[in-house]
Amino acid sequence: MVEARLITKDQLEDLLEYQKRQREKVIFGKLSLELGLISEDQFAPFIASYFDVPFINLKDHPIIVRREAINMIPESIARRLNVLPLTKDNNTLTVAVSDPLDLVALDNLAIVSHCNVKPVVSTPSQITHSITISYGIL
């Protein structure tokens, strides 16, 4: 995150010190968000790039959701996991997520949809907003 110029070296040192003091394991990126060092609009593209997962800005592409994809995942599950089904191509469901490493969520989506799940990264707030719009219209 320092190399990407999202935080300074001093902020990194503060984060590492804070992380050491915590009893529970704190995820570094989420800690940066919680402490207000970076915004989710900065963090989501960074995490996507870092893990080589596509990033999608749902503000710029508000309605790219396909009915077939939405029908694969019940709204209650989409809200609980904060994921947005976008498209279905053959046996692959593309889903917007904020954490591409949440294997439990990705596995749950695969079980519910009976499809392979391909994650793309977006911000949590963009996903939440798009769930409301997409499940409301489609």
Residue range(s) defining the domain that contains residue 25: 9-38
CA distance 35 to 33: 5
Predicted local distance difference test score (pLDDT) of residue 64: 74
Does the pLDDT value for residue 20 go beyond 90? no
Q: Is residue 24 in a domain?
A: yes
Task: Identify whether residues 26 and 83 lie together within a single domain.
Answer: no
Is residue 53 one of the residues assigned to a domain? no
Phi, psi angle pair for 97, to nearest 5°: -135, 160
Question: In the block, which residue shows the tokens 């790039």?
Answer: 49
79 and 120 housed in the same domain: yes
Q: Are residues 71 and 132 in the same domain?
A: yes
DSSP 37-101: SS-HHHHHHHHHHHTT--B--TTTSTT---HHHHTTS-HHHHHHHT-EEEEEETTEEEEEES-TT
Residues 34 and 78 in one domain: no
**Tally of domains in the chain:** 2
> Is position 55 within any domain?
no
Distances (CA, A) of 90 to 4, 86, 93, 103, 108: 36, 13, 8, 22, 19
Answer yes or no: is 45 within a domain.
no
71 and 133: one domain? Answer: yes
- As given in the structure block, the two tokens for residue 26 are 């704190």
Question: 1 to each of 15, 35, 101, how far by Cα in Å?
Answer: 12, 15, 18
Residues 35-79 pLDDT 10s: 788 889 988 998 898 889 999 999 876 667 788 999 999 999 999
Please report the pLDDT score of residue 63 as a whole number.
Answer: 62
Q: Which residues contact 7 (CB under 8 A, 6 or more apart)?
A: 1, 15, 32, 37, 38
DSSP 121: E
CATH number of the domain within which 81 lies: 3.30.300.160
Please state the pTM of the whole predicted model: 0.81
**Residue 138: what pLDDT?**
52
Q: Determine, yes or no, domain membership for 30.
A: yes
